[in-house]
């Protein structure tokens, strides 16, 4: 995987600190988007005293599921303005402050059981997540050497999955998965950004941002020397100057200009197609349906959470393979293999689900195909789109491209979740 001689201690440390935001994203995603936890939350907010409903359960469920990706969409839309105005590092700092406020709101909601506050807190958390999912991979892509760029960017997805595993672990009945531990469970969403907020103060700004957009050559050279562990950075500085010269026509490429640009139409279209394919591959449906598939094996409701945690650990293994393969095998191979595995496993999973009522051992096959699907998706379709977005666009248009691709990602995410909700509403309401 690339040339490990360029993987310096400073680069590793900066990557880990930056990826703490992705760890928070994974934790938030599970806590705020988990079907099990959503239904437990709705049991509290849709009933008061006896069985008198305060809010219609269907309305509350639709609103709860839709509001998080809506916040992600808003976060992606304002992302380009933030990173071009304040820089990559300061955007992460601002987002951490906002995330801490969100954690306080979420914790407060759990204490007073207020549905309107839950709505506002989920929207705010979604905005933070929308910014996180774009600024972290962009920053990592800009500080990484070319031959390690794919692996460094995919590290944020590995940490995201680690955050999901952490959320699943602490929400086990043995820990905080009880009603009394619920405020602490959601309040922990603020620990990651609070810790990262302090560490980010010592991180450098992106050298590409400093040189190309701020024209600060001396500061850019100092950052590169720190990242590469070498005093000789003239070749990379010259490469940045060549990129600056080549993108003269892209200066000030805001979102609306990028959408109308003829020269960047195909790179943008390519990024959008790949991200749409990622979302419509079936990963969201598998995510919402996984627990019920595990339950169908007869292992018992109390053991499903452990099997889900095992599936997340399998996802982490898939990410490790992707980290190696994204630079060693190339982006195209991982996409083809990943989408191929997802397609075949989806077809076989559909067949096994139809036969579950007639063949006793078929639920076990469904579980196996779910695992295979998850493995295939997180090898290629999950990590490669953000790597492609980083590489297909030059510095001045990259933030706008990330904003567009991120907006498409969250729109598709929310759309698929709501469509699936309507298709499976009786099942989900009785989850």
Q: Helix (H) and strand (E) counts for the chain? A: 19, 2
Q: How many structural domains comprise the chain?
A: 1
Which CATH number do you get for residue 338? 1.20.1250.20
Cα 137 from Cα 151, distance rounded (Å): 11
Mean pLDDT by 10 residues, the chain (431 residues): 65 90 82 66 54 58 81 91 91 90 78 72 86 91 88 90 87 67 71 86 90 87 85 79 74 79 88 92 75 71 79 86 85 90 89 81 84 87 90 87 93 85 60 43
Q: Is residue 306 part of a domain?
A: yes
Q: Looking up tokens 């360029």, which residue turns up?
A: 6
Cα 331 from Cα 300, distance rounded (Å): 40
- pLDDT at residue 401, rounded to an integer: 92
- pLDDT at residue 26, rounded to an integer: 84
CB 375, CB 313: distance < 8 Å: no
| DSSP string for residues in 101-132 | HHHHHHHHHHHHT-HHHHHHHHHHHHHHHHHH
CB 26, CB 159: distance < 8 Å: yes
Q: Is residue 416 part of a domain?
A: yes
Q: Is residue 160 part of a domain?
A: yes
Q: Is residue 220 part of a domain?
A: no
Q: At what angle do helices 149-170 and 301-328 cross, to 10 degrees?
A: 170
H or E segment and range at residue 53: strand 52-53
Q: Is residue 178 part of a domain?
A: yes
Q: Is residue 102 part of a domain?
A: yes
- pLDDT at residue 52, rounded to an integer: 44
CB 311, CB 374: distance < 8 Å: yes
The pTM assigned to this predicted structure is 0.87
Q: What is the DSSP letter of 51?
A: T
- pLDDT at residue 48, rounded to an integer: 47
CB 110, CB 182: distance < 8 Å: yes
| HSE, side-chain direction, 13 A CA sphere, residue 45 | 26
End-to-end CA distance of the chain: 44
Cα 163 from Cα 167, distance rounded (Å): 6
- pLDDT at residue 306, rounded to an integer: 82
Cα 254 from Cα 100, distance rounded (Å): 30
- pLDDT at residue 91, rounded to an integer: 94
Letter string b/e over residues 195-219, b meaning 16 or more CB atoms within 10 A of that residue's CB: ebbeebeebbbbbbbbbbbeebeee
Q: Is residue 230 part of a domain?
A: no
**Phi, psi values for residue 52, rounded to 5°:** -75, 125
Which candidate, 279, 272, 257, 262, places its Cα nearest to that of 400?
257
Cα 168 from Cα 308, distance rounded (Å): 8
Q: Is residue 241 part of a domain?
A: no
Cα 428 from Cα 270, distance rounded (Å): 35
Boundaries of domain holding 283: 4-203+247-429
CB 279, CB 385: distance < 8 Å: no
Task: Give Cβ neighbours of residue 369 (< 8 Å, ≥ 6 apart).
Answer: 345, 348, 349, 352
């Amino acid at each position: 995987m690339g040339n490990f001689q360029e993987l310096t201690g400073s680069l590793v440390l900066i990557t880990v600190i930056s990826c703490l935001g992705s760890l928070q994203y994974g934790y938030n995603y599970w806590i705020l988007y988990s079907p099990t936890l959503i239904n437990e939350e709705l049991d509290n907010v849709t009933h008061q005293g006896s069985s008198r409903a305060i809010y219609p359960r269907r309305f509350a469920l639709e609103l709860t599921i839709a509001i998080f990706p809506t916040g992600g969409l808003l976060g992606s839309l304002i992302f380009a303005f933030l990173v071009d105005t304040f820089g990559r590092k300061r955007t992460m700092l601002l987002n951490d402050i906002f995330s801490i406020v969100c954690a306080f709101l979420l914790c407060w909601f759990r204490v007073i059981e207020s549905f309107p506050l839950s709505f506002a807190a989920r929207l705010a958390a979604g905005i933070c997540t929308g910014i996180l999912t774009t600024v972290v991979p962009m920053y990592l892509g800009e500080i990484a050497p070319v031959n390690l760029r794919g692996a460094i960017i995919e590290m944020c997805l590995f940490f995201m999955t680690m955050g999901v595993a952490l959320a699943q672990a602490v929400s086990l009945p043995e820990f905080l998965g009880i009603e009394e531990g619920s405020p602490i469970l959601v309040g922990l969403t603020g620990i990651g950004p609070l810790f990262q907020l302090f560490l980010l103060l010592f991180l450098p700004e992106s050298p590409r941002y400093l040189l190309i957009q701020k024209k600060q050559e001396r500061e850019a050279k100092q950052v590169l020397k720190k990242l590469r562990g070498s005093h000789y950075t003239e070749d990379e500085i010259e490469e940045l100057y060549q990129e600056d010269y080549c993108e003269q026509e892209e200066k000030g490429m805001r979102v609306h200009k990028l959408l109308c640009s003829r020269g960047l139409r195909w790179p943008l279209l390519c990024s959008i197609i790949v991200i749409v394919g990622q979302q419509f591959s079936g990963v969201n449906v598998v995510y919402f349906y996984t627990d019920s598939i595990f339950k169908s094996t007869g292992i018992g409701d109390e053991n499903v959470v452990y099997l889900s945690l095992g599936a997340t650990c399998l996802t982490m293994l898939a990410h490790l393979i992707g980290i190696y393969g994204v630079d060693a095998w190339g982006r195209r191979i991982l996409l083809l293999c990943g989408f191929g595995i997802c397609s075949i496993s989806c077809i076989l999973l559909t067949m096994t689900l139809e036969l579950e009522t007639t063949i006793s051992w078929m639920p076990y096959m469904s579980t196996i195909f779910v695992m295979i699907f998850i493995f295939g998706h997180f090898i290629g379709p999950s990590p490669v789109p953000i790597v492609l977005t980083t590489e297909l666009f030059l510095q001045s248009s990259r933030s706008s491209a990330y904003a567009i691709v991120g907006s498409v990602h969250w729109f598709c995410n929310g759309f698929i979740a709501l469509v699936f909700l309507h298709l499976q509403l009786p099942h989900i309401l009785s989850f």
